[in-house]
């Protein structure tokens, strides 16, 4: 082969992968001017401490969470999760949803969370610690400290400045917004995702600097592991796309930059397709479910308000809570849309004009990592539109930009010693945020303290009082429960959850007529619109089931059907099927169950038992047999109804 032909072949081969580029970070003018002084004045021992201090801070500010109990979802995800109690069930983590173990509660079964490594972690935790809460909390703390170390490593690689990386990691370690992800056992999904996502980004950065192609493979594999931890890792390709277009190669021709982005997109397509295929097989829906809480237009209009709320949570160390009630914005002409939009546009312009690449990258990282949560707010109730745990990974971008600002501020002539000034400012922030984090850890002591804090933070939130009412009732304090539910109703007479809670309390006390009366009050007090329809659908469904118990079947059917019309969801169709089945109307019951299957994970076994029972009631043995066999194929070996289905199957005529 001639030299000329070999040269052509090599050029074609090199074009198939993104070309490495030396990572050149344009430091601020003041930083460049003082760089030689920094290098001389900072001892090597202090440079090493830059990476150790943040880890120590992470451990220090989260250690007291180890004495907490199980809170909120932990009681089900840990104590009631039969799948995590056997290591032999590990393969189920990759073929089922996070909530698939709750087969008796169809409302939880429809949750579209596919996070196999989360389930793997919980299975390992159970094998190590059983039901001892301290061990689970300890694991969360260790993961957070490890992520903090990776924040330092990644930021040092991005900026080339130990001081900026150290400040960023220290602020990340102590920020109170991370408490929800660390002190809450079930909130570990974001730190777990970060445990793989940050190394993936680091490997990309190392490839850009060294050209070692195996780093590309590591980036892709770690990205898949991050996706298996939490679906919001899908944001990483967006960040890398920005880096290829603007951060590292902005002087290169646009065509060349677009070509690099295209190649990286192709590389990320493989693990993304693997993830979505596995998700499709496990859930039956690759992107979300059918649980929209309010219209798309309202969701889009609410995004600026939610983003500003997230920025305030990053900036002001107050008001941290499990709930941040956010009324969905109905129109783009509303001040709740216009004011936040103006604030965000102003910030974007300021960041665009800044001369610091690190600040711009921090802003892009923040918004990209937050984007999945913003795009999903249509699926959240108003009290959960803004959730602190979604800031865990996004916050790295914010504190990186803040660290650059601290470095720039300390370089002013006002401060004689740059390193000391930067250290002092950082120390002040640590002393401001650290104690707040330590105090906030105690909020997560158990479910009751958690929802008491929600009320303390937002005493005029009807949803906070409603949630506290449900918690009081669950721990055997019905008087406090009723008082909180009534207070929620007084604050907002249109709060559907308050009526639903009072109805439930009455039903549990054996007062059926009073339970029905509360729900009938709700149908008159809650106006119907695109935002309240979800609460009203729940009211009508419960009212229908209660009327059925009172044997007022015409009224029951009317409310059950109205519930399904207001909100197209699996729970509505399923309970409509239950109503018709109880009346011996098996064909109508079968149709309702069949409609429910369209909204359920493909591997949800109990629905096949229900359809089989309906076919059996219709005396269609072959169809009943098919459904029972599907149930046995999908149900776990220790499923409660397995023996009943086997007995029914054996009795069917052939």
Query: For residue 221, is pLDDT > 70?
Result: yes
Average pLDDT, the chain: 88
40-44, 308-312, 500-504, 553-557: segment of lowest average pLDDT: 40-44
Over 80: is that where the pLDDT of 285 sits?
A: no
Class of residue 23 by CB neighbours under 10 A (exposed 0-12, middle 13-18, buried 19+):
middle
Pick the residue with more confidence: 594 or 530?
Answer: 594
As a whole number of angstroms, the distance between CA 624 and CA 611 comes to 7
Q: Is the pLDDT of residue 209 over 70?
A: yes
Residue 287 clears pLDDT 80, i.e. is over it: no
Of the pLDDT bands very low, low, confident and very high (cuts 50, 70, 90), residue 416 is: low
Tokens of 459: 């005493």
pLDDT of residue 295: 86
- Comparison of pLDDT for 529 and 5, the residue scoring more: 529
Q: By C-alpha distance, which of 213, 206, 245 is closest to 16?
A: 213
Q: What is the CATH number of domain 459-562?
A: 1.25.40.10
Q: What is the pLDDT of residue 14?
A: 42
Percent of the residues in the chain that have a pLDDT greater than 90, as a whole number: 71
Q: What are 120-140's pLDDT values in tens digits?
A: 999 999 999 999 999 999 999
- Which has the higher per-residue pLDDT, 521 or 652? 521
CA distance linking residue 366 with residue 87, whole number of Å: 37
| pLDDT of res. 653 | 85
Burial 323-348 (b: 16+ CB within 10 A, else e): bbbbebbbeeeeebbeebbeebeeee
pTM of the predicted model as reported, rounded to 2 decimal places: 0.89
What pLDDT sits at residue 252?
78
CATH class of 568-654: mainly alpha
Instruction: Tell me which of 634 and 181 has the higher pLDDT.
Output: 181
Between CA 9 and CA 99 the distance in angstroms is 52
Quote the pLDDT of residue 98. Answer: 87
Residue 259 pLDDT: 92
Question: In this predicted structure, what is the pLDDT of residue 5?
Answer: 46
Contact 631, 608 (CB under 8 A): yes
The yes-or-no verdict on residue 7 having pLDDT over 60 is no
Q: What is the pLDDT of residues 39-78, one digit of tens each?
A: 333 445 555 666 789 999 999 999 999 999 999 999 999 9
pLDDT tens figures, 143-165: 999 999 999 999 999 999 998 99
Q: Mean pLDDT over residues 545-570, rounded?
A: 92
What single DSSP character describes residue 84?
G
pLDDT at 18: 53
With 50 as the cut, is the pLDDT of residue 320 above it?
A: yes
Task: Reply yes or no on whether the pLDDT at 30 is more than 80.
Answer: no
Lowest mean pLDDT among 29-33, 469-473, 484-488: 29-33
pLDDT digits (tens, 9 = 90+) for 230-277: 999 999 999 999 999 988 866 778 888 899 999 999 999 999 999 999
Return the HEC string of 578-630. HHHHHCCCHHHHHHHHHHHHCCCCCCCCHHHHHHHHHHHHCCCHHHHHHHHHH
Q: What angle do CA 377, 382, 386 make, to 5 degrees?
A: 55
Give me the mean pLDDT over the 487-494 stretch. Answer: 95
Tell me how far apart the terminal alpha carbons of the chain are, to the nearest angstrom. Answer: 73
- The length of the chain is 654
CA 322 – CA 464 distance, rounded (Å): 9
Mean per-residue pLDDT, 491-503: 96
**Does the pLDDT of residue 531 top 80, yes or no?**
yes
Confidence of residue 99 (pLDDT cuts 50, 70, 90): confident
pLDDT at 442 over 60: yes
What confidence score (pLDDT) does residue 449 get?
97
Report how far residue 147's alpha carbon sits from residue 393's, in angstroms, rounded to the nearest whole number: 10
- State residue 41's pLDDT score: 39
* pLDDT band (50, 70, 90) for residue 290: low
pLDDT on residue 95: 87
| Residue-level pLDDT at 33 | 34
Q: What number is the average pLDDT over the span 587-616? A: 90
pLDDT, position 23: 44
Amino acid 169: pLDDT = 96
pLDDT of residue 523: 95
Look at 196 and 251; give whichever has higher pLDDT: 196
* High-pLDDT (> 70) share of the chain, %: 89
The pLDDT score that the predictor gives to residue 409 is 83
27 falls in which pLDDT band (50, 70, 90)?
very low
Q: With contact defined as beta carbons under 8 Å apart, do 161 and 407 qualify? A: yes
CB 598 within 8 A of CB 629: no
The beta strands (E) that lie in 25-140 are given as none
Q: Are 560 and 540 in contact (CB under 8 A)?
A: yes
* Residue 190 pLDDT grade (very low, low, confident, very high; cuts 50, 70, 90): very high
Q: CATH 1.25.40.10 in the chain, residues?
A: 459-562, 568-654
Confidence label for 338 from pLDDT (cuts 50, 70 and 90): very high
């Amino acid at each position: 082969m001639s030299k000329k032909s070999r040269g052509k072949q090599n050029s074609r081969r090199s074009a198939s992968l993104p070309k490495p580029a030396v990572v050149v970070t344009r430091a601020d003018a003041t930083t460049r001017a003082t760089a030689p002084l920094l290098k001389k004045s900072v001892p090597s021992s202090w440079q090493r401490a830059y990476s150790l201090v943040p880890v120590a801070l992470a451990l220090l500010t989260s250690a007291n969470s180890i004495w907490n109990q199980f809170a909120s979802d932990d009681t089900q995800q840990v104590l009631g999760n039969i799948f995590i109690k056997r290591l032999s069930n590990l393969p189920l983590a990759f073929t089922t949803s996070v909530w698939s173990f709750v087969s008796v509660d169809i409302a939880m079964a429809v949750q579209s969370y596919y996070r196999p490594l989360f389930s793997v972690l919980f299975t390992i935790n159970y094998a190590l610690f059983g039901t001892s809460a301290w061990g689970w909390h300890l694991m969360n703390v260790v993961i957070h400290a490890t992520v903090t170390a990776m924040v330092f490593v990644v930021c040092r690689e991005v900026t080339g400045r130990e001081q900026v990386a150290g400040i960023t990691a220290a602020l990340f370690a102590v920020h109170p917004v991370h408490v929800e992800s660390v002190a809450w056992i079930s909130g570990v999904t974001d730190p777990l995702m970060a445990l793989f996502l940050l190394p993936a980004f680091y490997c990309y950065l190392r490839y850009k600097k060294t050209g070692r192609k195996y780093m590309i493979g590591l980036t892709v594999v770690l990205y898949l592991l991050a996706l298996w931890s939490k679906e919001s890792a899908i944001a990483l390709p967006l960040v890398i796309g920005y880096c290829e277009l603007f951060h590292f190669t902005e002087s290169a021709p646009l065509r060349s930059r677009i070509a690099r982005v295209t190649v990286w997109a192709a590389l990320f397509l493989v693990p993304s397709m693997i993830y979505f295929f596995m998700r499709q097989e496990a859930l039956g829906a690759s992107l979300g479910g059918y649980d929209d809480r309010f219209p798309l237009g309202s969701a889009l209009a609410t995004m600026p308000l939610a983003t500003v709320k997230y920025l305030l949570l990053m900036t002001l160390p107050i008001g941290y809570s499990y709930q941040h009630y956010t009324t969905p914005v109905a129109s783009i002409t509303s001040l709740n849309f216009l004011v936040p939009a103006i604030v965000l546009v102003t910030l974007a312009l300021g960041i665009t004009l800044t001369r610091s690449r690190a600040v711009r990258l921090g802003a892009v990282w923040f918004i990209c990592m937050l984007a999945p949560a913003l795009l999903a707010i249509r699926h959240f109730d108003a009290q959960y539109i803004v959730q602190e745990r979604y800031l865990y990974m996004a916050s790295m971008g914010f504190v990186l930009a803040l660290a650059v600002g601290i470095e720039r501020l300390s370089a002013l002539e006002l401060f004689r010693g740059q390193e000391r000034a930067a250290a002092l400012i950082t120390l002040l922030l640590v002393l401001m945020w650290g104690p707040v984090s330590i105090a906030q850890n105690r909020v997560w002591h158990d479910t009751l303290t958690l929802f008491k804090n929600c009320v303390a933070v937002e005493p005029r939130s009807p949803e906070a009082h409603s949630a506290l009412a449900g918690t009081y009732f669950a721990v055997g304090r019905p008087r406090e429960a009723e008082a909180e539910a009534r207070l929620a109703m007084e604050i907002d007479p249109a709060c559907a959850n308050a009526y639903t809670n009072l109805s439930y309390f009455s039903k549990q006390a054996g007062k059926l007529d009073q339970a029905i009366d509360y729900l009938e009050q709700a149908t008159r007090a809650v106006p119907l619109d695109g935002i309240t329809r979800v609460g009203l659908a729940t009211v009508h469904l419960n009212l229908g089931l209660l009327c059925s118990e009172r044997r007022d079947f015409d009224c029951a059917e009317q409310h059950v059907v109205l519930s399904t019309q207001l909100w197209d969801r699996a729970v509505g169709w399923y309970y409509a099927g239950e109503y018709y089945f109880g009346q011996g109307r098996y064909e109508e019951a079968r149709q309702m169950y069949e409609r429910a299957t369209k909204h359920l994970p493909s591997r949800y076994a109990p629905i096949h038992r229900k359809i089989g029972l309906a076919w059996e009631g219709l005396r269609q043995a072959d169809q009943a047999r098919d459904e029972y066999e599907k149930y046995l194929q999908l149900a776990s070996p220790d499923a409660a109804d397995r023996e009943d289905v086997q007995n029914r199957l054996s009795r069917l005529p052939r």
